Amino acid sequence: MTSTVTASAVEAEVESGSHLFTILRYSLIKGLGIGKVVTSDVFTIGGYDWIIQFCPDGTTAENKNFIAFYLVLNSGTTDVKALFELTLLQHNGLPSNMCIKAQTRTFNTSIAYSCWGVPKFAKRDEFEASNCLTNDAFTIKCTVTVLKGTRLRPTAPYGITVPLSNSNQQFACLLESGNGADVTFVVKGEKFRAHRCVLAAKSAVFNAELLGCMREKWTETITVDDIEAPVFKSMLYFIYSDSLPDFEQNSNNDGENKDLIFMAQHLLVAADRYDLERLKLMCEDLLYKNLDVSTVASTFVLAEQHSCKQLKAQCVQFMSSNEALKKVAQTDDFHILMKTFPSISKDV
C-alpha cells in the first residue's frame, strides 16, 4: 500500500510604510481647545490615502490632560484592514518609549470607523518634560501595515536557494587579518596594514596615490599626520565593509553621544579628503540626527568648510527660532562661528 503526504500553506499579503509628522512651534498649537486637531499631509500606503491627526488638548473634558493621536483613512473606501504603530521620536531620531501598537483594525469611511487612535496617548506634562520635545518641536512616526488579502505560498519552490552575499564581511575579515597586505600606514604612532587595490577601487585619491605616478606608489610605508588613528581605522573599516563600525549604535548616554559626534565630524573630514562620498553622506546623516544646542555651531562650520549643503541647511533651520538661537549664542562654538562666518546672521 502506497501512502503520500502533500502540504500547502497560505499567508497574509501585506504592504507597509511609514510617515513622519513633525509639529513645529508646539507652544503656539497647544491651547487650540478640547477636541481640536491639526492634521498631517496626505500620505499613501498600501494603495490607500491616510492622514495623522494630533489633538494637543485632549478629545474630551475627561482626558483634557492628555495628548491624542489618530490614524485616519482618507480614501473613499470601505473595509480596509490595517494595523498601525505610533511612536514619538527622541531629538536624535531614535524611538522613545511613548508608543502604541494597535491590533488589526477595519477602517470604513461610510460609517464612524474611518479613524482609530488613542485619546490618552501620553500625559501632556510628561510629554513636555521628555526629550521628544526639543526646541518647541517634535516628530511622531506612524507605521501602517495594510492587509491586501491572502496568497498561496509555495512549499517546494522551483530552483536552488542562493544565500545572500557576505562579501562585505569577508573583506572586513581580510582587513583584520592583514593577509596579503602590501602597504602600511603609520598614523600617530599606530600601524595599519592594507591592500592597495582595495583602497584604490573605493577612492580616487588612494588610486592616484597608490597606483598612479605619485611617490607613495613606490613606498611600502606611508605616514599620515593629519588624521587621528581611531578615525583612520574607522575609515579603513568602511572602505572594506561599506558600513560604519559599532560606534554608530553606542549613543545611549551623553558621554557615548559625544564620542559619536566627535567620530562623525572627523570621519566626514577624512571622507571629504579621500573622496568617499557615501561615507561623507553617512556622517552628515549622523550629525543631522544628533543636532542639539551644544553641537549645531561646530556642525555648521564643518558643513560650510566641506560643502555639505543639506547639513548646513538643517543647522540654519535649527537656529532659526529665537528660543534656540538664544541658547546656541551662549556656547563658545557660536562665537567661533560668528567670527569665521559673520554672514550667517543673515540666514538666522
Which structural domains are found in the chain, ordered by start? 9-150 (2.60.210.10), 165-260 (3.30.710.10)
Q: What integer pLDDT is reported at residue 10 of this predicted model? A: 85
- Interhelix angle 309-318/277-289, rounded to 10 degrees, is 10
Q: What integer pLDDT is reported at residue 247 of this predicted model? A: 63
d(CA 187, CA 224): 5
Q: What integer pLDDT is reported at residue 154 of this predicted model? A: 65
SS (H, E, C) the chain: CCCCCCCCEEEEEEEEEEEEEEEECHHHHCCCCCCCCEECCCEEECCEEEEEEEECCCCCHHHCCEEEEEEEECCCCCCEEEEEEEEEECCCCCEEEEEEECCCEEEECCCCECEEEEEEEEEHHHHHHCCCCECCEEEEEEEEEEEEEEEEECCCCCCCCCCCCCHHHHHHHHHHHCCCCCEEEEECCEEEEECHHHHHHHCHHHHHHHHCCCHHHHCCEEEECCCCHHHHHHHHHHHHHCCCCHHHHCCCCHHHHHHHHHHHHHHHHHHHHCCCHHHHHHHHHHHHHCCCCCCHHHHHHHHHHCCCHHHHHHHHHHCCCHHHHHHHCCCHHHHHHHHHCHHHHHCC
Inter-CA distances, 343 with 299, 304, 337, 340, Å? 16, 12, 10, 9
- Beta-carbon neighbour count of residue 237 at 10 Å? 18
**The dihedral formed by the CA atoms of 283, 225, 246 and 294, expressed in degrees to the nearest 10:** -50
Are the CB atoms for 206 and 271 separated by under 8 Å? no
Are the CB atoms for 209 and 216 separated by under 8 Å? yes
Q: Which residues of the chain have pLDDT under 50?
A: 249-252
Q: What integer pLDDT is reported at residue 130 of this predicted model? A: 92
Bridge-based pairing of strands 80-89 and 137-153 is: antiparallel
Grid coordinates 562661528 are at which residue? 337
* Greatest C-alpha distance within the chain: 93
